[in-house]
Amino acid sequence: MLRFLSIQDFVIVDRVELEFPPGFTVLTGETGAGKSILIDALSLALGERGEAGQIRNGCERAEISAEFDVSGLPGLADWLRENDLDNDGDDSGTCLLRRVIDASGRSRSFINGRSATLQQLRAAGEQLIDIHGQHAHQSLLRNEAQRDLLDAFCGSRELVQMVAAAYRRWQSLQQRRTAWEQNAAAFLQEREQLQWQVRELATLNFSPGEWQALQADHSRLSHAASLLEATQMGLEILSEGELASLAQINSVIARLQSLLDYDSSLRTVLDLLESAQIQLQEAVYELGHYQQRLDLDPQRLQEMEQRLTAIHAAARKYRVTPDELPYLLATSTGRLEELTQGGDGEALAKEETAAREEYLKLARKLTAARDKAARTLAQQVSAAMQTLAMTGGEFAVALLPLAQGNAHGMEQIEFQVSAHQGLPLRPLAKVASGGELSRISLAIQVITSKIGTAPTLIFDEVDAGIGGRVAEITGAMLKKLGEERQVMCVTHLAQVASAADQQWQVMKSADPDNGGKITSRITVLDPQQRIEEIARMLGGVKITATTRQHAAEMLQLQSKG
């Protein structure tokens, strides 16, 4: 559950530090005092998008930190370890989420002191807190929201994903089969052409590295006579002729060495000549070796020329350069495999039918799960309506069949309601008044929240549009829920506030020490302060002794259960 929240320089809050107790807590205060700022700040810590406009005027950054007890959430603990975001060596079962937004709008996120992405922050937050916003009843008017709520209620999210994947596969195969039927003749012609083309290029057996080697070998063979003549001339001049260079250099070296004793300065010249002698000897060796490797085979030259002719012919035929022929073979082979794997119309039709049957199998399983959950949800919400000034009213979840189905299943989900006894069931969006919609929404949220795993539930003014006895019953519902989970509710109703285990008050005031800046502060109320606050909620501007007595009685009655 949520243990501690620190808010600094956020909207009109300069600094607030709150310790959160278990049970049912209410947050009250004048309209505009900033009751929902707490929820907004907590939402940022849970991964909601932030902006520079949320920073308190004149400040450089806003910072929110939230500390949670996760000892009862082994799944979250495993996730933190897998993402290297756990507290090393800390077995206290604590998780700390932190969010910083600077004046440029740049945001930084941290989990247990380590940098994290917004996606990771949201993934952790979804397991920690479930927030029911004050406009949640409006989303209930949308069919997709009704469908998502029912699927969450029946625990079929994984099955929903499987149905969607099966539907996409079925539709993909249907499109391929339709395309094949519309273009069957063209596909067959293209496949025949590709088969012939691939066969011809494969027979050519031209590899990417062959082209350069083939050109180099052909150039050498076609000029072999000239190369041999030049090689022989070089050997003759350097080492084999009567006036060979090496022999003359050797003579000069021998003559100078004999004179070295008379003048040691000749050593420099001798070193240069000996170096030249070594280089020339190496050159003679390499030239002789090269001469031995020269090939004057005219048949080999003819074979190479025939190979080059075949390669150039294929390149001209397919309008590519010779070195692009291997790439052409690869792409043609790939396209041929694509057409071959695509099968013919009959094979595709069989594959499509199998995919459709798989979709129908999963969709029918989802329908059965939805039908069972729909009856349970309808029964529980209808029972709650009887206590919310809608005696005789009925709630139902209709599964309206879809002829062809879609990615969401074989039916459309529609919430239906009969607000009073004797009235027919009609779509929720068409028959519920604002007050009725608020009450039904509250009943649904309380009921569905019981099946969730998040240890902390927050209701942000979801009791809008109700009052009197219904408000008292709503407070009792939330208090009972607080026995199982940590519950927090932003409310303007005294009946709901008096049912809470603890009450916090939000007040907005001008700070004379800070240029008259407006600040919002949260105070944890003691029993006497609770009487004053609930009296204010009951009596408005002028609070009388009678109002205070009424407030005290409300608190006393709630404490007695």
* 559 pLDDT higher than 70: yes
- Whose tokens are 């940098």? That residue is 115
pTM metric for this prediction: 0.60
Residue 320's φ and ψ, nearest 5 degrees, are: -135, 165
Question: What local confidence, expressed as pLDDT, does residue 342 receive?
Answer: 54
Mean pLDDT of 404-416: 93
> CA separation (Å) from 362 to 14, 160, 163, 367?
54, 9, 6, 9
> Which pair of structure tokens corresponds to residue 465?
């549009």
Q: How many residues does the chain have?
A: 561
* Mean pLDDT for the stretch of residues 170-197: 79
Task: Return the H-helix or E-strand segment holding 63.
Answer: strand 61-69
Q: Is residue 115 scored above 80 in pLDDT?
A: yes
Listed residue (272, 282, 283) closest to 249, CA to CA = 272
Identity of the residue numbered 22: P
Confidence of residue 295 (pLDDT cuts 50, 70, 90): low
Place of tokens 């003679």: 284
Least confident of 21-35, 79-93, 118-132, 412-426: 79-93
pLDDT in the model for residue 86: 86
- Selection from 391, 347, 345, 399 nearest residue 370 by Cα: 399
Phi first, then psi: what are they for 529, rounded to 5°?
-65, -35
**What residues have CB less than 8 Å from 120, skipping those under 6 apart?**
47, 83, 85, 109, 111
The band of 406, judged by pLDDT with boundaries at 50, 70 and 90, is very high
Distance CA 79, CA 74 (A): 9
Query: Which of 35-44, 193-202, 405-414, 549-558 is the most confident on average?
Result: 405-414
The radius of gyration of the chain from alpha carbons, rounded to an integer in Å, stands at 43
pLDDT higher than threshold 70 for residue 312: yes
Average pLDDT of the residues in 3-25 = 90
For the ranges 146-150, 412-416, 429-433, 505-509, the lowest mean pLDDT is seen at 429-433
For residue 428, pLDDT over 90 is answered with no
Residue 185 clears pLDDT 70, i.e. is over it = no
Candidate ranges 100-104, 195-199, 337-341, 394-398; pick with highest mean pLDDT: 394-398
Is 459 in contact with 488 (CB distance < 8 Å)? yes
Summarize pLDDT for 347-365 with one digit per residue, the tens: 788 889 999 999 999 999 9
Q: What is the mean pLDDT of residues 212-218?
A: 66
pLDDT over 90 at 512, yes or no: no
pLDDT value of residue 341? 60
Whole-angstrom Cα distance, residue 92 to residue 82? Answer: 18
pLDDT band at 232 (very low <50, low <70, confident <90, very high): low
Question: Would you call 176 exposed, middle or buried from its count of C-beta atoms within 10 A (0-12, 13-18, 19+)?
Answer: middle
- Average pLDDT for residues 23-36, to the nearest whole number? 83
What pLDDT is recorded for position 215?
63
Q: Does pLDDT of 414 surpass 90? A: yes
- Among the residues of 388-450, which ranges form H helices? 428-431, 434-449
Other CB atoms closer than 10 Å to residue 238's CB: what's the count? 19
**Residue range 530-538: mean pLDDT, rounded:** 91
Q: What is the pLDDT of residue 306?
A: 76
81: left (phi over 0), alpha (psi -120 to 50) or beta: alpha
The rounded distance, in Å, linking the Cα atoms of 101 and 60 is: 9
- At residue 549, the pLDDT reads 92
Tokens of 391: 């005696």
**Rounded distance, CA 534 to CA 29, Å?**
10
Listed range (47-51, 170-174, 199-203, 410-414) with the worst mean pLDDT: 199-203
Does the pLDDT value for residue 89 go beyond 70? Answer: no
Residue 190 pLDDT > 80: no
Instruction: Tell me the C-alpha distance between 320 and 339, whole Å.
Output: 23
The pair of structure tokens assigned to 490 is 């932003």
Which helix (H) or strand (E) is 330 found in, with range?
helix 325-341
Distance CA(128)–CA(136), nearest Å, equals 19
283 vs 187, higher pLDDT: 283
Residue 388 above 60 pLDDT? yes
Average pLDDT over residues 367-372: 96
C-alpha to C-alpha distance for 66 and 17, rounded to whole angstroms: 10
Predicted confidence at residue 71, as pLDDT, reads 86
Q: Is the dihedral of CA 397, 398, 404, 410 positive or negative?
A: positive
Buried b (16+ CB within 10 A) or exposed e, 456-465: bbbbbbbbbb
Reduced DSSP (H G I as helix, E B as strand, rest coil) percent helix, strand, coil of the chain, to 5 = 55, 20, 25
pLDDT-based confidence at 561, cuts 50/70/90?
A: low
Cα–Cα distance for residue pair 133/534, rounded to 1 Å: 23
Calculate the alpha carbon distances from 445 to 34, 44, 383, 453 in Å. 24, 22, 14, 14
Q: Predicted confidence band at 443 (pLDDT cuts at 50, 70, 90)? A: confident
Write the CB contacts of 5 (distance below 8 Å, at least 6 apart in sequence): 16, 17, 18, 20, 38, 41, 42, 45, 64, 65, 66, 67
Most confident of 251-255, 452-456, 485-489: 485-489
- Phi, psi angles (nearest 5°) of residue 315: -65, -45
Q: DSSP assignment of 340-363, as one string?
A: HHT--HHHHHHHHHHHHHHHHHHH
Q: How confident is the model at residue 434 (pLDDT cuts 50, 70, 90)?
A: low
Buried b (16+ CB within 10 A) or exposed e, 33-50: bbbbbbbbbbbbbbbbeb
Residue 433 reports pLDDT greater than 80: no
pLDDT of residue 273: 87
Count the neighbouring beta carbons within 10 Å of the beta carbon of residue 181.
Answer: 12
pLDDT band at 189 (very low <50, low <70, confident <90, very high): confident
Of 309 and 147, the one with more pLDDT: 147
Q: Which residue has the higher pLDDT, 230 or 274?
A: 274
